[in-house]
Structure 1
Amino acid sequence: MKKILFPVMMAAVFAACSKNDDNNTPPPTPGTTDMTAANISRTTDNSEFKELAGDTLKANITSNTVLKAGKTYILKNFVFVLNGATLKIEAGVTIKGMKTDKGTIIITRNGKIDAQGTADKPIVFTSNQDAPNRGDWGGIIILGNAPTNGLYNATRGLMAIEGGVNTTATGYGLHGGNKAEDNSGTLKYVRIEYAGIAFEQNNEINGLTFGSVGSGTTVDYVEVAYSGDDSFEWFGGTVNCNHLISYRATDDDFDTDNGFSGRVQFGIALRDHNVADFASGGASNGFESDNDADGSSNAPFTSAVFSNMTIIGPAANGTPVAPFKRGAHIRKNSRLSVFNSVFTAWPVGIFVDGVASEANATSNALEAKNNILADCVTPVAAGTKDFDAPKWFSTAAFSNKITVTLLDLKLTNVAYGTFDPTPAAGSALLSGADFSNAKLANFSKTTYVGAASGTDTWYKGWTKF
């Protein structure tokens, strides 16, 4: 999703979309942090945590608040965490988002989240509908003070997050700054289901959205299932993430924009061949990556590094509907790099699109090494005839491989409901990884390609397939 909302239609949109007085967020009071500033001083609330009164999250979190284990909570409206406060969620808590009120949690640049589940007691964000479906509630948005190449009100390095957030509460939807190590808190063993509601037409919220989130933030073991838009999207920032799962999303699995430069290791995606972005001009991809919407040379560049990703496309379970396009669409001057990963069952495996991204590939600013493409109708393609993408991908020193069928990967089960990406004995994925590239200096070293080793089944137990 690439639609960035700026506050030019603030009053009209808010009047049309707000249905509940609880969703009216007051402006900052005198003496509090100016949330519209290009760089804010993150404050900390050192008070004790108090349990949320009642079982409904519907008002802003302005002091340290805890959601207690063993309870189920209802999420109504846009709930902002701000004023240096932390929203703490104990292991095993379930939070159900309201569809009619567009329930969404927004961690502002001056707030934090501490959501630490466990493998046997994950924290679950889900729908409050009797028959849940994609887009039943908003999702989780985390905003930080790390760098972005975006622009807001003529200020470079500041952005308004998509999804109507800054329209609803001016300043509270902004992100960006100069604090690469900014800390927005922790997400661990968290499952996000049926999120991605539209604030208005063509302006949806993702399952989990990062706006300029810094590297001090911890994101580990997070699944987004049945998102109504992207599962994960990063707008700028430096946050590092591990053990991510995108299950049967609508649009893209992993979307990177506006200077995101973090590291992501161990990720899984499985697509539903009948569910995609059917909007006019819509395209559903595994990866989608832009430097920015204009493909400019604004810094910082989108230069995220991914390793050990297993990206299983729609053709694994049937004939894909038309909007499905590519396992990775790298375009608009992106410098994304992907190592030790597998893309399978996509119409196109990897698509390097446009002269700027093609030049990045030629200079090794954009890299693809030690990857496997399997069962892709067109394994590798480029946006212009002047760049020989198959020759680039097949450069001997890159150690990439192209195999004929999904069966060569010997994955245990790619079917919906019983999905298990564990590679069986003899799988091409069980060897071939390499971490000698300087971009992989801080990654965990594996011998296997993709997210699964055959012995470390980190994706079992806390997930929903």
Structure 2
Amino acid sequence: MNLLKHKHYLLLLMLLGVFAMVTSCKNDDEPTPAEPVLAITTLTPATGLPGTKVVITGTKFDATAANNKVKFNNVDATVTAATTTALEVTVPANATTGKVTVTVGSSTATSAQDFTISSRATQDVVGEITANTTWTKDKVYILKGFVYVNSGVTLTIQPGTIIKGAPKEQDPLASGQGGTLIIEAGAKISAAGTATEPIVFTSLKDAGSRSYGDWGGVVLIGKAPHNRPGATAPEGGIRGGKDKAGLGTAGIADDNSGTLQYVRIEFAGIALSNTANSEINGLTLYAVGSGTTIDHVQVSYSGDDSYEWFGGTVNAKYLVAYRGFDDDWDTDWGFTGKVQYALSLRDPEYSDQSGSNGFESDNFNGNGEPATGPNAGMPLTAPVFANVSNFVFGGTPNTNTNSGSGPYQSAMHLRRNTDISIYNTLLVGYPEGFRLDGANTLAHATAGTLDLKGIVLANVTTPVRGDRAATGVSDEQATAYFGAAARKNTIVTTLADLMLNANNFNLAGPSFLPQTGSPVLTGAVWEGKGADAFFTKETFRGAFGTTDWTQGWTNFDPQNTQYK
């Protein structure tokens, strides 16, 4: 190698060294930016009522709203819009003050600041509502004594509004009447909540101290047909109307008492005295017509029946009876409406001295009225129920309770000339499954106007019985009716065979969807009255297939919910 080439070679090596040093220094001074992680930066606003729209800013959110799981102090919220750096959410109805979390995939971020649930102003409501009125969600309304919405008046209740019933000790008239909302015949209630902002009727008492029958309940009175004399007044001391003694005889089948949608009624069902039939139920419906809209209603901890229909033609879907004291679905006085998708979850420790039933259906009160022959032109009790699930005992059913005033009795106690029909229904954990009571009731069953098809009785001690010596229906007659092959009814002795959800009987956090392959997911029967166009012709028996319609708007822990 000559000297010139040698110098060029050395120069090249020096340049390469300098380049390496510069490159090394540059990498140290300017590192590659780190991948952003899931994080919450701000909450705007950071305080508000349930139903408030909140914008959460941060990083690494999912641009698809449904892929972001947001909770306000462990209560699920609804995400209404999303980008990778901002989420719009609605504060859930049950939220309490605390941290906000966002979960995307397996990662969870927690806010540094609390979201504060603000307190609402309170407003007492007493006496009569005589002009169209709107209750707004920025207030808490307190019912004291019997509150009547007069004929011709509409009470509108905004989504997310809270109404509390005061105990009878706070009755302004000192009549011993717990706070009760009564929609009189000719009046209307417009209570259209939403899944994210249900309307809540609850106890005035603080969280942790609420109980059965803290207040009266919600009562709707309409002008539809019933089978009582017109002078018959509602039970529990409620007046029949401002200017009349009883329910009247208008007989308007499509009468409209308004709307109840996404509504919860908690700790109602007060006993007004020791006299029979002096209680008020969670939701009581007198002669309510088919023009009324009722769906997505939950009655919890009712001190009497969760739901009772006294005549009328109103239809309903998506009803929940949670931890009631007496019956779940009580029908009488000529009720002829239709109900689909109904759930009852009972606390096995609590039942009533009268013998708590799932279904209790009557036509008359045992004194011969109305006439049992031509029925004096008045309607027989003939409702149609479909896709109902009632759950009591997950273990061995028994007739004794530790904390209630009486025993459990029957999943279905059908008596006194009723013409009820029940289809595709799951009834679990009662001492008795089906009690067929009364020769007239047996005659309806034999004629097919009382119709039971696609029923599953599970985990019951006595599946079917007559009333035996009382009115002459033998166990054999009742069994022959229920067990006829054409009815496709099923008696299951081993509860595990139904493949229900593992948390089906978990009172604090229930889950109701049957497991894949469960026999109740098939076998539905849609014959006779079940063919009516009102009913969605599901393939499953019971209230649930593959969709849990209780999600989002129900509350299975109202005892500990802060309502303010």
Give the TM-score, by structure 1 length: 0.83
% identical equivalent positions: 45
Deviations 1:255-274 (A, max 9, x none): 00010000010000111111
Deviations 1:251-293 (A, max 9, x none): 1000000100000100001111111113xxx111001000111
SS at match of 2:387: strand
C-alpha distance in 2 between matches for 1:167 and 1:190 = 25
Which position in structure 2 is the counterpart of 1:216?
291
* Corresponding residue of 2:255: 182
Corresponding residue number in structure 1 for 2:158: 90
Does the CA-based 8 Å contact 1:148-1:177 persist in structure 2?
A: no
Distance 1:76 1:175, change over 3 A: farther
Offset at residue 438 of structure 1 (A): 3.9
Which letter maps to 2:528?
Answer: N
After TM superposition, the structure 1 stretch with the greater mean CA deviation from structure 2, 383-392 or 60-69, is 383-392
Aligned Cα root-mean-square deviation (Å): 1.9
Counterpart of 1:277? 352
Taking the TM superposition and a 5 Å limit, the aligned residue runs for 1:202-281 are: 202=275, 203-278=278-353
- The alpha-carbon distance between structure 1 residues 108 and 315, as it changes in their structure 2 partners (threshold 3 A), is same
Larger displacement relative to structure 2 (179-188 or 169-178): 169-178
Q: How does 1:31-46 map to 2 (within 5 A)?
A: none
Aligned-pair CA distance for 1:54: 6.7
Residue 335 of structure 1 is aligned with which of 416, 419, 428?
419
> 3-state DSSP class of the match of 1:420?
coil
Which of the residues 543, 551, 555 maps onto 1:451?
543
Aligned match of 1:66: 134
Matched residues in 2 for 1:167 and 1:210: separation?
Answer: 13
Matches within 5 A, 1:341-356: 341-356=425-440
Q: Aligned pair 1:161/2:234, yes or no? A: yes
- The AA in structure 1 aligned to 2:212 is R
Q: Which amino acid in 1 is paired with 2:433?
A: G
Aligned to 1:133: 211
Q: From the superposition, tell whether residues 175 and 162 of structure 1 become closer, same or farther in structure 2 (CA, over 3 Å).
A: farther
Query: Once the 2 structures are TM-superposed, how far is the Cα of residue 85 of structure 1 from its aligned partner?
Result: 0.6
In the alignment, does 2:272 pair up with 1:199?
yes
Q: Label 1:241 to 1:209 Cα distance change in 2 as closer, same or farther (>3 A).
A: same
Q: Distance in 2 between matches of 1:460 and 1:103?
A: 29
Match in the other structure for 2:10: none
What SS does the aligned partner of 1:391 have? helix
Alpha-carbon distance, 1:376 to partner: 0.7
Determine if contact 1:183/1:213 at 8 Å carries over to the other structure: yes
Task: Give me the whole-angstrom Cα distance separating, in 1, the residues matched to 2:137 and 2:393.
Answer: 37
Determine the structure 1 residue equivalent to 2:554. 463
Q: Distance in 1 between matches of 2:342 and 2:531?
A: 16
Question: Residue type matched to 2:308 in 1?
Answer: E
For 2:458 and 2:338, locate their aligned partners in 1 and report how far apart those are by CA, in whole Å: 24
In the alignment, which residue of structure 1 is the partner of 2:224?
146
Match of 1:310 among 383, 389, 398: 389
> 5 Å matches for 1:103-118?
103-118=179-194
> What whole-Å deviation, never above 9, does each CA across 1:269-327 have from its counterpart, x for those lacking one?
1111111113xxx1110010001112652320000000000011245587552521000
Number of matched pairs: 404
1:440 aligned onto 2:508: no
Partner Cα distance (2:202, 2:395) in 1? 26
Query: How far is the alpha carbon of 1:105 from its aligned partner?
Result: 0.4
Q: TM-score, normalised by structure 2?
A: 0.69
Give distance in 2, aligned partners of 1:462 and 1:306. 23
Distance 1:170 1:84, change over 3 A: closer
How far 1:223 moved relative to its partner? 0.6
1:12 — aligned with what? none
1:151 partner SS: coil
CA distance 1:399–1:163, shift in 2 (3 Å)? same
Evaluate the alpha carbon distance shift between residue 150 and residue 175 of structure 1 in structure 2; reply closer, same or farther with a 3 A threshold: same
Matched-pair contact (CA < 8 Å) for 1:286–1:313: no
Instruction: For residues 326-380 of structure 1, give each alpha carbon's deviation from its aligned partner in whole angstroms, at most 9, with x where no partner exists.
Output: 0010000001110010111001111110101011111001010011111111111
**Could you say which residue in structure 2 is the equivalent of 1:300?**
379
Shift of 1:170: 6.5
Structure 1 residues 384-393 or 355-364, which shifts more?
A: 384-393
User: Residue 429 of structure 1: SS of its match in structure 2?
Assistant: helix
Q: Provide the rounded CA distance (Å) in 1 between the counterparts of 2:396 and 2:299.
A: 19
CA distance in 1, matches of 2:451, 2:191: 34
Unpaired stretches in structure 1, ≥5 consecutive residues: 1-52, 154-158
Which residue of 486, 496, 504 corresponds with 1:407?
496
Q: Please tell me whether the aligned partners of residues 234 and 246 of structure 2 are also in contact (alpha carbons under 8 angstroms).
A: yes
- Give CA-to-partner distance per residue, 1:126-182, whole Å, 9 cap, x none: 0001211010000000000000001244xxxxx311111128966376365210000
Change (3 A) 1:151 1:172: closer
Larger radius of gyration: 2
**Which residues in structure 2 correspond to 1:116-127 (within 5 Å)?**
116-127=192-203
